[in-house]
Structure 1
Amino acid sequence: MRSVTQHPVLGDELTATQLSRLGVRRGGVLLVHASMRSAGGDAGSMKDSLRVALGPEGTLVVPSFTPENSDTSRSYLERVSGLAESARAVVRAAMPPFDPALTPAPSMGVLAETVRLSPASSRSGHPQTSFTALGPAAGKLLSGHRPDCHLGEESPLARLYEADAQVLLLGTGFAGCTAFHLAEYRRPTRPRRLYRCVVARESGRHWWEYEDIALDDGDFPALGADFVRRRACEVSVGRVRSARSHLFGIRAAVDFATTWLEEHRRGR
């Protein structure tokens, strides 16, 4: 028996076959959240496998979020917890401004970063919640990402919904299911809050403050569990390499989440 690790092309084809059997549509649009630690192997070959499964007409999309350049993000607040204000000021002063061509997205995982660094990739311009895409639909999906709309109707998530995209949670849980955030924007009552991050202007580095809805993923695991249980016929579950994975349509997920959130977040 030939070793897959010694024949990366064969490995890519085998993984692509797993993806196709799971239900990834050839020629479609696929939003991927991935844990390469769960999947095993390297991110470059996983990216290639995803593109093989999608085919030349398909488009691969990943989140390229950058909470590292914000002083209102959860990651910043955790980082400076217990620090004096003078020490917090030092942290803020060291934050580089967002540059869509250069700013990394380390918290999104190695696969997302591999896609972002691919020569043919495109990235949306939001300084906090950008997306990166590879494929013929990238320009249409990523254009018009309004800087004061993280994940709503003026973001790539809404364009993915319009494109009837699929979502692949590759070794990750529903806690990080970005698609559910679009449902937050579709609630009749949407709490709002202020956000702040560092951006680049002609005059140099600049702190920018803006208002958007208060994003909350705290109940996404429960939401995801209910989605899988109540819409089981619309969710494919299987292994990609060694990672237990879920594949589903973004429209089904967002429509379910919109109703679910209204039922479970009454009064907030």
Structure 2
Amino acid sequence: MTELDAIKQTKTAITRSTLVRDLKQLGLKKGMTVIVHTSMSRIGWVCGGPVTVIEALQEVLTPGGTLVMPAHSADVSDPADWENPPVPKSWIQAIYQEMPPFDPERTPTLGMGRVAETFRKFPGVKRSSHPIYSFSAWGEARDRIVSGHPLDDGLGDQSPLAQIYQLNGQVLLLGVGFGNNTSMHLGECHSNKLKMITRQSPVILNGERRWVSYRDWDYHEERFSKIGQAFEKDAQETENLKTGIIGQADSLLMSQRAIVDFTADYLRKRWAGWFR
């Protein structure tokens, strides 16, 4: 979407103060820990763009809260596994030899959107060290969330997602749906239904670039929209889910623990049905 398109589709100017108002009305509060997934095009034309969205979130949370965003870089991975799109087999050896290693400071996000890419470079933000599943965080629990992110099981029980879970954090889907809800991968892990696989990425070890192998799970985020629909309908979960409008974007604020636990339970009960 071009800026002109955004202006034409926006009813009134969206500013930091209007975003702060909308976030508070949705239920975001001072001191919360929240992982945010966003779509700038759904919010509408924002005065100041992604910077304004981030500053509005920080204003509501205050430094006593914690703001987290995914900073994934799935392209820092084995080119033989790439499917969307794949590369010619004749290129793969050259990619192995030349791909830059993951660097928390320099490696850009992939497919995370403009807000997440801007956030990772913001003052006071720290990024975790996983080559494909990193997260960026700012605020009170920043170091607890991003430090010690292991290579193995990068979205599991030692990951930043697990730290948010332990902190009783929230998930804010700002203009996006459950298909973008990374926390549901932790629910997949808790279901004990996933297949273990091996991945590899280039990293810096002892000052040298090296390809390293690590254990991961065979995730299935294509299920998340259906699970999310069930979560929204479940009467027992209504107190853990709030709906509203941020700018012009339909948005959801939910308990991260609730959606993780719901996902795990849902998969345990219905796993076989996914393959019929």
**Common topology (TM > 0.5):** yes
Aligned match of 1:62: 69
What is the distance in 2 between the residues matched to 1:73 and 1:264?
Answer: 32
1:92: how far off? Answer: 4.1
Relative to structure 1, the CA distance from residue 125 to residue 254 in structure 2 (aligned partners, 3 Å threshold; closer, same or farther) is: same
What aligned pairs does 1:18-167 form with structure 2 within 5 A after superposition? Answer: 18-40=22-44, 41=46, 42-71=49-78, 76-80=82-86, 83=88, 85-167=89-171
- Report the Cα distance in structure 1 between the residues aligned to 2:86 and 2:34, rounded to whole angstroms: 36
Deviation at 1:218, TM superposition (A): 1.5
Question: Shift in Å at residue 229 of structure 1?
Answer: 1.1
Match for residue 191 of structure 1 among 195, 204, 217: 195
| Aligned residues of 2:72 and 2:133 also touching (Cα < 8 A) | yes
1:69-96 alpha-carbon deviations (Å, 9 max, x no partner): 112697x322225x2x212333444421
Show CA shifts across 1:215-261 (max 9, x none).
Answer: 22121110011111112332111110011111101011111111001
Cα distance in 2 for partners of 1:91, 1:56 equals: 41
Counterpart Cα distance in 2 of 1:211 and 1:125: 15
Cα 1:132–1:170 change in 2 (3 A) is: same
Confirm or deny: 8 A CA contact 1:27 1:58 kept in the other structure. Answer: yes
* 8 Å Cα contact 1:68/1:95 also seen in 2: no
Name the amino acid aligned to 1:147.
Answer: L
1:219 aligns with 2:223: yes
Residues 164-203 of structure 1 show CA distances to partners (whole Å, capped at 9, x for unaligned) of 1110001111111111111111123431111111112236
Find 2:177's aligned residue among 170, 173, 179.
173
Structure 2 runs not aligned, ≥5 long? 1-10
* In structure 2, distance between residues paired with 1:23 and 1:59: 15
Distance 2:25 2:72 in 1: 30
- Partner residue, 1:264: 270
Partner-residue secondary structure (3-state), 2:263: helix
Match of 1:252 in 2: 258
2:36–2:69 CA contact under 8 A, matched in 1: yes
After the TM superposition, which of the residue ranges 15-24 and 94-103 deviates more from structure 2?
94-103
TM-score by length of 2: 0.88
Structure 1: gaps (5+ residues)? none
Task: Give me the whole-angstrom Cα distance separating, in 2, the residues matched to 1:72 and 1:262.
Answer: 32
**Pairwise CA RMSD:** 2.0
Question: Is the 8 Å Cα contact of residues 72 and 195 (structure 1) preserved in structure 2?
Answer: no
2-structure distance, mates of 1:53, 1:175: 26
- Work out whether residues 65 and 129 of structure 1, in 8 Å CA contact, stay in contact via their aligned partners in 2: yes
